[in-house]
Amino acid sequence: MKDVVQTCHFPGLKAVYLQIPANCATIEHNFHLGGEILQNHNILTTAVYNHFFDDVDVIVMNSGCVDAPGFPRETCAVIGISYDEPPAWIMLANHMSPLLHELLHNLDYNLGVSDYDNYHHVNWDIKGYLAADSEFRREMIPIY
């Protein structure tokens, strides 16, 4: 993987590859925070969450806004995703604020939600995903 300066390994994700140095404990904290939030919103138990994404790689870029310059930080964070071919991966901007959001897309993909509905966040309000994502973004510890 190009330009990786650090790799974090912890239970729950396959690996986190960083193009910037970061505290792996903070990233792990944020990952587990997502699990607690999903449990509190009755979306997934932490026991399921802690193993559901074992095959997902997360790649953290060295930039904060590479996909949509000029947009707010919250909308300028996801560089790419792939769930349909192993290994699954998520590429995020350096602040990692949409981590849980992208894991929810992975969840829906694995639950058989259509690509159209998944991409367009269909029923995310009813499922509690939007509220969980907002809570995560408020409570996570920024890594950069």
pTM above 0.85, yes or no: yes
Contact 58, 30 (CB under 8 A): no
Contact 28, 10 (CB under 8 A): yes
Give the C-alpha separation, 23 to 18, whole Å.
10
What are 13-57's pLDDT values in tens digits? 999 999 999 999 999 999 999 999 999 999 999 999 999 999 999
pLDDT value of position 73: 47
What are 108-132's pLDDT values in tens digits? 998 999 989 988 999 999 999 999 9
- Cis status of the peptide bond prior to 69, with omega within 30 of 0: no
Instruction: Name the band, by pLDDT with cuts 50, 70 and 90, for residue 1.
Output: low
State the average pLDDT over residues 1-16: 91
How far CA 114 is from CA of 15, 81, 119, in Å, comes to: 27, 15, 8
Helix (H, G, I), strand (E, B) or coil at 59: strand
Instruction: Name the band, by pLDDT with cuts 50, 70 and 90, for residue 3.
Output: confident
Contact 8, 28 (CB under 8 A): yes
Phi/psi for 55 (5° steps) reads: -100, 10
pLDDT at 6 over 90: yes
Which has more pLDDT, 95 or 51?
A: 51
What are 53-79's pLDDT values in tens digits? 999 999 888 875 544 444 444 444 555
Strands 56-60 and 6-8, how do they pair? unpaired
**CB neighbour list of residue 96: distance below 8 Å, 6 or more residues apart:** 27, 30, 58, 60, 77, 140, 142, 143, 144
**Secondary structure of the chain: what % helix, strand, coil (to 5)?**
40, 15, 45
